[in-house]
Amino acid sequence: MYYWPPDDSNFLLVIATADCGSLHLEARYNYEALDTGSLFAGWKFSGGDKVTYALTPMLGAVFGATEGIAPGFEASLAYGIADYYIEAEYLYDLDVKEDSYAYAWSELGFSPLKWLRFGLVGQRTRVYNSNRDIQSGGFVQLMLGKTTLGFYVFNPGDSADQLAIVSLAAEF
């Protein structure tokens, strides 16, 4: 994901995941803080027929400019063309306890076509400076085979705090 925050430097946020059965592994860079990496492991529980769900509790180690422990989870729920996704964690900062915080990213999406998903997005982050504790906006994703191109806009209409993100995801 490439971030264009207002009045701040642009940056690249990288996430890599690997799943083996129910085991979920994740590596992140610039996710909890700039110049910071993290490694997560979790166990995925999923099921459903018409209504599908997935819940993955995880535990992570954070290192670099920020050091800490981060328990969290990822969850999704889908029915027909509608879906909801959330990822959340609590970063317990080992150096400065007052810098510990709860992070979340959530999406309410609709997929009327196999190649199109759009909806509402919200986040609470401290990876860049913002006047808002919770940010909201919209997104559009285009699915091209195993590649997804996404466009996100947070705080539209607020030029002082508007954020644009472009994402590229690929499955192997």
Q: How does pLDDT run across 1-30, given as a tens digit for each residue?
A: 999 888 778 999 999 999 999 999 999 999
Residue type present at position 161 = D
Q: Would you say 56 and 49 are in contact if contact means Cβ atoms under 8 Å apart? A: no
Give the closest residue to 90 by CA, choosing from 103, 81, 73: 103
User: What is the per-residue pLDDT for 6?
Assistant: 80
pLDDT digits (tens, 9 = 90+) for 92-124: 999 999 989 999 999 999 999 999 999 999 999
φ/ψ bin of 70: left (φ > 0), alpha (ψ from -120 to 50), beta (otherwise): beta
Question: Quick check: helix, strand or coil at residue 149?
Answer: strand
- DSSP structural state of residue 34: T
Q: What is the mean pLDDT of residues 43-64?
A: 98
Task: Answer with the residue of higher pLDDT: 59 or 5.
Answer: 59
CA distance 85 to 157: 25
Of the pLDDT bands very low, low, confident and very high (cuts 50, 70, 90), residue 87 is very high
CB atoms within 10 A of CB 66: 22
The backbone torsions φ and ψ at residue 157, rounded to the nearest 5 degrees and listed phi first, read 85, -5
CATH number for the domain that contains residue 79: 2.40.160
What are the tokens at 8?
A: 């701040």
Domain with 110, as residue range(s), is: 2-170
pTM of the model: 0.92
CA distance 115 to 38: 31
User: What is the per-residue pLDDT for 76?
Assistant: 98
Residues facing residue 144 across a β-bridge: 147
Give the number of domains in the chain.
1
